[in-house]
Structure 1
Amino acid sequence: MFEPGLEPEASPSPELQALLRAYLDHLAVERGVAANTLSSYRRDLRRYLAHLAATGRTSLDGVGESDVTGFLGALRAGSARHPALGASSAARAVVAVRGFHRFALREGAVADDVARGVRPPSAPKRLPKAVGVAEVEALLEAAGADGSPRALRDRALLEVLYGCGARISEAVGLDVDDVDLDAGAARLLGKGGKERLVPVGRFAREALAAYLVRGRPALVAHGSGGPAMFVNARGGRLSRQSAWVVLRAAAERAGLDVELSPHTLRHSFATHLLDGGADVRVVQELLGHASVATTQIYTLVTVERLREVYAAAHPRALG
């Protein structure tokens, strides 16, 4: 149950381990939880069960709300074995524990949900990182500089990330049939399997057209072919890790001394739209956010920029 190097101070009872396996199976099969999220929940819940075992709990019957809050306190305080978790990581762990207890109640393993009153800690709002339009343009130019099949692919990939606000998983998950260049639209498969239709701007359309005509055929010739839009040198679907390499290489060639990730381009997409006067709810739809509250974080970026311009330009700003 526990991998080498992750053995807790006290081992959970077989009963609790079986319940954890059942819950993780439920998340994977019935809820369709993403693999990365499932891995995080598994790690958080193993630590929770180790915490319960250390206090002598062999089942959830004797667990109370104080055990859950005690676990939260231990997460925030840390130990010689486990570093202290920040608010966002601790909040994720509490969400996992609350879901585990709800599942136990629904399965009849307990008579009460003792975790329902425990609230996750509030993570501080952090402004998304974004880069300026000039930096993005330099990055895009550097990506397709030599006109080779790979360069055409790299330029098209980065144009989609920035021009469509796509997540990296959405971009590498694109199939050729998901993009209609004549209509200027692309179908993205987002979190939770939700599809959304996004516009594809002129620069991205031109980059994709060049790649589809002069780049992709040369790359897929080395493989068996397939539906993937972005392919590697062997003709298979480009991975997320390879997309990171593409971005880093383009940033280095462009001489950009800023921290960049594929998500930076998504943040920049949203920030530049709002700077240009786009309505926050339109940006929400383009990003595929379930709640407008998530998108509104980007408005803090534009307000901060306005504040900086005001402080630098207004004669009485510093008075």
Structure 2
Amino acid sequence: MVHLDPASAVFKAMLEGWETQQRARFLKAGGTIKPRLDLVRRFAEYTNQYPWQWEPAEVEAFIVSLSIAPSTARNYQNCLRMFCEFVTDARYGWPAKCLDIFGAVPRQILHEANTISHVTDYEGNPGRRPLSYDEVQALFDASDGRVEEIQSRHRKGALTAMRDSAMLKVIYAFGLRRQEAVGLDVADWRHNPKVPAFGRFGGVFVRWGKSTNGSPPRRRTVFTVAEFDWIVPVMEHYLEEVRPLLAPGKHPAMWVTERCGRISRRRLNRTFGLVRDLAGLPSELDLHALRHSFVTHLVEFDYPEKFVQDQCGHSWGSTTAIYTGVSDEYRNRLVQRALRERHPDLWKDQP
């Protein structure tokens, strides 16, 4: 069979082959593969050319034309580089086929001289940071105040506002990511025999941790720490008095909507933004800032680094360090402690 448009047919087959290669690695179809394919199509549309015609200057012009952050630009470059690696790999036969049909072969158009180097651990918005203790309190006060305001006006929404308040407190008290929070079920709470006073809320079993390189979601148990023991009565109140009134039926989700469904990540983001604005906090702070706050405050409570790392579900301690933004007061305490240990005579007359 002869294609009327062999160029578009070959390009389509290249994309399908690359998609199959990624599916064989069990990468996420919607979260990883589709955005990559869309980017390659977008670049092809920008150049109005096919992969065997692409030149380095074209990808450079494409990146320059975009108003994106350096980290996003590097992700785009890595994606296009991986596609070029696929179509230039002789094991898949595309160089020979393109030479036979078009008289040209694909080549790698991204190299060290036209790609962004990864030189810092964190490249995000500098405005994103852990919340201070006062800011966390202000956030929770605004969340609770929202419930009281709705109740005082005799309006609908008091139950969902109570749910939202408990949900934000759980995210902070256990350092949860968005997907981990929305994926929580009632059955995920765990007893901790070492702390019987916490009852069924001695810890939470996280089943929807961040997956990497096509692996399934990683699991972990996050223990309730003594400094966050206030979460126990919060959860008792929510499960015994609030959630039943939402009429969840047999739905297993911890956070259910008015229509007996699981709350979405988008709604979770919207809820945080609403409460953040009510608290008068900077707009740069997002939901993930609560996870950064959880890590930072555990460090300031003097928990061991490995314990904090395990609580977060990080494979590497360096990742946990990126999340940490301890206060000047904490660092001063460390310096003072070290000086007391090294020069105890200098501190005899001071408390």
TM class by shorter-chain length?
A: 0.7 to 0.9
Deviation at 1:135, TM superposition (A): 1.2
Is 1:152–1:210's contact at 8 Å kept on the other side of the alignment? no
Superimposed CA distance per residue, residues 267-304 of structure 1 (whole angstroms, 9 cap, x where no aligned partner): 211222233334444333322233333322234x33xx
Q: Structure 1 CA distance, aligned partners of 2:238 and 2:257?
A: 13
Superimposed CA distance per residue, residues 139-185 of structure 1 (whole angstroms, 9 cap, x where no aligned partner): 12332343743233112211121111111111011111122252612
Percent same amino acid among aligned pairs?
A: 29
In the superposition, relative to structure 1, how do residues 271 and 122 fare at CA in structure 2: closer, same or farther (>3 Å)?
farther
**In structure 2, what is the equivalent of residue 206 of structure 1?**
233
- The number of equivalent residue pairs is 283
In the superposition, relative to structure 1, how do residues 132 and 72 fare at CA in structure 2: closer, same or farther (>3 Å)?
farther
SS in structure 1 opposite 2:14? helix
In the superposition, relative to structure 1, how do residues 278 and 213 fare at CA in structure 2: closer, same or farther (>3 Å)?
same
RMSD between aligned alpha carbons?
3.3
In the superposition, relative to structure 1, how do residues 277 and 96 fare at CA in structure 2: closer, same or farther (>3 Å)?
same
Deviation at 1:257, TM superposition (A): 4.8
Pick one of 94, 111, 125 that aligns with 1:109: 94
Q: Structure 2 CA distance, aligned partners of 1:198 and 1:50?
A: 47
Pick one of 92, 100, 106 that aligns with 2:75: 92
**In structure 1, what is the equivalent of residue 344 of structure 2?**
none
SS in structure 2 opposite 1:236? coil
Q: Structure 1 CA distance, aligned partners of 2:106 and 2:311?
A: 38
Given the alignment of the two structures, is residue 77 of structure 1 paired with residue 64 of structure 2, yes or no? yes
Q: If the length of structure 1 is used for normalisation, what is the TM-score? A: 0.74
SS in structure 1 opposite 2:230? helix
Structure 2: state its 5+ residue gaps.
1-6, 97-104, 149-157, 192-199, 212-216, 333-351
In the superposition, relative to structure 1, how do residues 183 and 154 fare at CA in structure 2: closer, same or farther (>3 Å)?
closer
**In structure 2, what is the equivalent of residue 317 of structure 1?**
none
Deviation at 1:212, TM superposition (A): 0.9
Tell me which amino acid in the other structure corresponds to 1:191: K
Over alpha carbons, which structure has the higher Rg?
2
**In structure 2, what is the equivalent of residue 21 of structure 1?**
16
**In structure 1, what is the equivalent of residue 309 of structure 2?**
284
Is 1:45–1:93's contact at 8 Å kept on the other side of the alignment? no
In the superposition, relative to structure 1, how do residues 309 and 282 fare at CA in structure 2: closer, same or farther (>3 Å)?
closer
Q: Structure 2 CA distance, aligned partners of 1:207 and 1:110?
A: 62
Tell me which amino acid in the other structure corresponds to 2:36: Y
**In structure 2, what is the equivalent of residue 122 of structure 1?**
117
Deviation at 1:263, TM superposition (A): 0.8
Structure 1: state its 5+ residue gaps.
1-11, 311-319
Pick one of 267, 271, 274 that aligns with 1:249: 274
**In structure 1, what is the equivalent of residue 175 of structure 2?**
165
Tell me which amino acid in the other structure corresponds to 1:199: F
In the superposition, relative to structure 1, how do residues 23 and 203 fare at CA in structure 2: closer, same or farther (>3 Å)?
farther
Q: Structure 1 CA distance, aligned partners of 2:59 and 2:310?
A: 35
